Amino acid sequence: MAALNLAKLPTRAPADYHKTTTLRELKKLRQELIDLQDRLYAENKHSVLIILQGMDASGKDGLIRRVFSGINPQGVRVFSFKEPTEMELSHDFLWRVHQQAPSRGMMQVFNRSHYEDVLITRVEGLITAAEAKRRFTAINAFEKLLQQAGTTVLKFYLHVSEKEQQGRLQERLTDATKQWKYEKADQRKAGQYPQYQAVYEDVFHHCNPGSCPWHIVPADQNWYKAYVVARTLRDALLKLDPQYPGN
Amino acid sequence: MAALNLAKLPTRAPADYHKTTTLRELKKLRQELIDLQDRLYAENKHSVLIILQGMDASGKDGLIRRVFSGINPQGVRVFSFKEPTEMELSHDFLWRVHQQAPSRGMMQVFNRSHYEDVLITRVEGLITAAEAKRRFTAINAFEKLLQQAGTTVLKFYLHVSEKEQQGRLQERLTDATKQWKYEKADQRKAGQYPQYQAVYEDVFHHCNPGSCPWHIVPADQNWYKAYVVARTLRDALLKLDPQYPGN
């Protein structure tokens, strides 16, 4: 897989995308997603796993709200991976992740994922480069296993610029509705943009097969990233072409 | 991996093993296992997965009783894989298996395992040869993942002769204490010895890396197979050399 230089990839929408028209498009896409999810659930044949990764303040929570609100929650589950528990740490790193894999008919959103086990763990020096390599191999095998069982795996990296990230983290300190999201760790992480960029690039190098690619989404504008994710998901569902049983 | 011909492998103990002395050895081994399990649990660093496979009436249940009775059940769990449920079938075949992987400090026995997904499924024509190949690859990756997380994986095939198997299945029909084990499927399976032999040989060909080999255990005599499994487990635990914390 060719090396990927994040610094060269856009964090903002192309010039021909405008907020008002794009938001109108997003609204249409959401209607399509509502219909497609209903068919996916009824057909009970395939499943979809949406993996959301991105640095702190890249807007994962907001994106989930913007893209998935309105879809029948019976067919969509969101799982947020937090710091692993003692019991989780006493198993291999994929143990807790595998349990959350979607069953047939379901759409599952991972807010953070097994990729944290080759990201924060590396920035914090918790695993060696050799261990990271073994994990890359295990991750590729794991995602292949899911795909072979009928799961469409969509991996999104919300690509935010360092400047935008700094601004958002600052906002968390002053905006009363966002203060709850502020953690002391944020301050440190804000200073680690280059380190995270490097380990993400390594992920894109090792865990990016043609059969299960990363989608690098410009993420400085919330309206544009929601649009891109919704469109990519819609296209993937159209490809599955789920049908109501008996049709 | 070299092809393996089950028909050429012994199903009985070598001539220099005698029942009385071997049972005495087994008793000693059990004492060792009790001590080693206690250390494994106390150290809380490694885990052991014992996979038991074998044709019907090869004596898996009896073996578990003979080898593991007496060991502190707080540190040993036995999981018997039955026909998968609807929910399990709506995930990849390793989903339910991964959940039962041992946590650190534990010994986990699989009475049947993920290997059924490339054995009975093939004899019954539920999966294609191509799907079996994909599953072999997934199984190898899965066992490697467990090993890398500190799990010793021990795979045992209880090798019973067709004649011995027939006798045992017949016994299930007449012995009141064994009738509950009799299923109608047994009759059919008894006629499928060659088919099972063939798919087992395929497993030993594809899922038998030097780092995670199968132990083919002569299984016509209960005392000998219990001895071999106990000895192999003891040796594996000695290799881990678990220590009480603070020592």
In the prediction, which pLDDT does A173 show?
83
> Which residue range is the domain that position B101 belongs to?
38-240
Measured CA angle at A61 (ends A59, A62), to 5 deg = 65
The domain spanning residue B157 has which CATH number? 3.40.50.300
CB contact under 8 A, B90 and A144: no
**pLDDT tens over chain B, length 247 residues:** 567 899 999 999 999 999 999 999 999 999 999 999 999 999 999 999 999 999 999 999 999 999 999 999 999 999 999 999 999 999 999 999 999 999 999 999 999 999 999 999 999 999 999 999 999 999 999 999 999 999 999 999 999 999 999 999 888 888 877 777 767 666 666 679 999 999 999 999 999 999 999 999 999 999 999 999 999 999 999 999 999 998 6
Cβ-in-10-Å burial (0-12, 13-18, 19+) of B137 comes to middle
Residue B133 in any domain: the answer is yes
Helix and strand element counts for chain B (H, E): 10, 5
- From the list A94, A103, A149, the residue facing B145 with the nearest CB is A94
In a domain, A54, yes or no: yes
Note whether residue A125 is domain-resident. Answer: yes
Inter-chain CB proximity B101 and A94 less than 8 Å: no
Distance from CA of B75 to the nearest CA of A (A): 14
Query: Chain B: nearest CA to A157, how far in angstroms?
Result: 25
Going by C-alpha positions, the residue among A105, A106, A50 that lies closest to residue A80 is A50
Tell me how close the Cα of B221 comes to any Cα of chain A, in angstroms.
Answer: 36
Residue-level pLDDT at B185: 67
Q: Which residues, in sequence order, are CB contacts of B40 under 8 Å at separation 6+?
A: B46, B47, B48, B75, B105, B106, B107, B237, B240, B242
Q: What count of Cα atoms within 13 Å lies in the side-chain half-sphere of residue A162?
A: 12
Q: What is the pLDDT of residues A94-104, one digit of tens each?
A: 999 999 999 99
A&B contacts, CB < 8 Å? 65
- Domain membership flag for residue B245: no
A109-163 pLDDT, tens digit per residue, is: 999 999 999 999 999 999 999 999 999 999 999 999 999 999 999 999 999 999 9
For residue B189, the model assigns a pLDDT of 65
pLDDT at residue A185, as a whole number? 67
Q: pLDDT class for A165, splitting at 50, 70, 90?
A: very high
- Percent of chain A topping pLDDT 90: 87
Instruction: Give the DSSP H or E segment for B26.
Output: helix B19-43
Q: Is residue A15 part of a domain?
A: no
Percent residues over pLDDT 70 in chain A: 96
Cβ-proximal residues to B211 (8 Å cutoff; 6+ apart), any chain:
B144, B147
Let me know: does A29 contact A21? Beta carbons within 8 Å: no
DSSP letters spanning B36-93: HHHHHHHHTS-EEEEEEEESTTS-HHHHHHHHHTTS-TTSEEEEE--SPPHHHHTS-T
Is residue A23 situated within a structural domain? no
Per-residue pLDDT band for A54 (boundaries 50, 70, 90) equals very high
Q: Residue B233 corresponds to which amino acid?
A: L
If you average pLDDT over residues A26-35, what whole number do you get? 97
Domain tally, chain A? 1
Chain A residue numbers touching B95 (CB-CB < 8 A): 98-99, 101
pLDDT band at A188 (very low <50, low <70, confident <90, very high): low
pLDDT for B44:
96
Is position B27 within any domain? no
Domain assignment present for residue B215? The answer is yes
Interchain pair B141, A146: CB under 8 A = no
Strand, coil or helix: what is B212? coil
Quote the tokens at residue A205.
């190098």
Q: Which of A44, A92, A103 sits opposite B145 (nearest CB)?
A: A92
Decide which of A1 and A222 is more confident: A222
CA distance A54 to A218: 11
Of the candidate ranges A29-38, A177-186, B3-12, B208-217, the one whose mean pLDDT is the lowest: A177-186
Q: How far apart are CA B31 and CA B14, in angstroms?
A: 24
Please answer whether residues B164 and B240 qualify as being in contact, where contact means their C-beta atoms are separated by less than 8 angstroms. Answer: no
- Cβ(B242)–Cβ(B39) below 8 Å: yes
